Amino acid sequence: MEKIFFSNKLKFSKVKDLPALEKFATSIGWTHLPEEFGDTIATLESTSGHKAVVGCSHFVATYKREVFKELPINNSPYLIDGDSELLYLDLPVVKKGGYRLSTYSNNAFHLGNVHESWMEKEFEKLIEKGNKFIDYSYLSNISTSTFSYYLDNVIFKKIFKKKSILKWVLKRKGLNNSQLFNYLDRKY
């Protein structure tokens, strides 16, 4: 993380697909998407210029094989609740030095519990494609050293508990004062 954190590749960018974000808010029972949730999002840019969103809430996921070696041995007492997301989805990736990223474009929808007319319209837009094998063997395995894990997950966490430092970092990554307030100080 330390390599990415101090680079210009990690920054806040404009939300690319605000209507999809608004649909998500509606699907989880919100009456609307608060304005401050739809202006910026943390992104990571590759050397080829592709952007990914840092983190994700509701998601479709692909994990590299080596991440599964970090899964807890026992089953979770929860389905998707309690600490199950942390223990089974987040920590295994972090322990291997990886990131939980989302596509910058919206490629999946949260359908919620109620049928809405837009769902049929989006379904009709789907184009069937034949099966295609993509060989990802050229990608290196993800792994982390004990030192890197300690630096990222112990030292950085302690440093960022100081609000003044976190504010400075977030401002450096592209948030303005209003966005900083929404991110750090607003009570929801």
* C-alpha Rg value of the chain to the nearest Å: 19
Predicted pLDDT of residue 158: 92
pLDDT of residue 188: 63
Q: What is the pTM of this model?
A: 0.76
Q: Per residue in 83-133, pLDDT tens?
A: 888 898 888 888 888 888 888 888 777 777 778 888 888 888 888 888 888
Task: Please give the pLDDT value at position 164.
Answer: 93
Q: Could you report the per-residue pLDDT of 140-165, keeping only the tens digit for each?
A: 888 888 888 888 888 988 998 999 99
Closest listed residue to residue 119, CA positions, set 5, 24, 11: 24
Q: Say what the pLDDT of residue 62 is.
A: 82
Count of positions (residues) in the chain:
188
- Give 103's Cβ-side CA count (13 Å radius): 11
What value does the mean pLDDT take over residues 166-188?
Answer: 87
What confidence score (pLDDT) does residue 14 get?
Answer: 92
Residue 163, pLDDT score: 92
Encode pLDDT of 1-42 as tens digits. Answer: 566 777 889 999 999 989 888 888 887 788 888 888 888 889
Q: Which residue has the tokens 């063997």?
A: 137
65-87 pLDDT, tens digit each: 888 888 899 988 887 778 888 89
SS3 53: strand
Bigger pLDDT: 115 or 49? 49
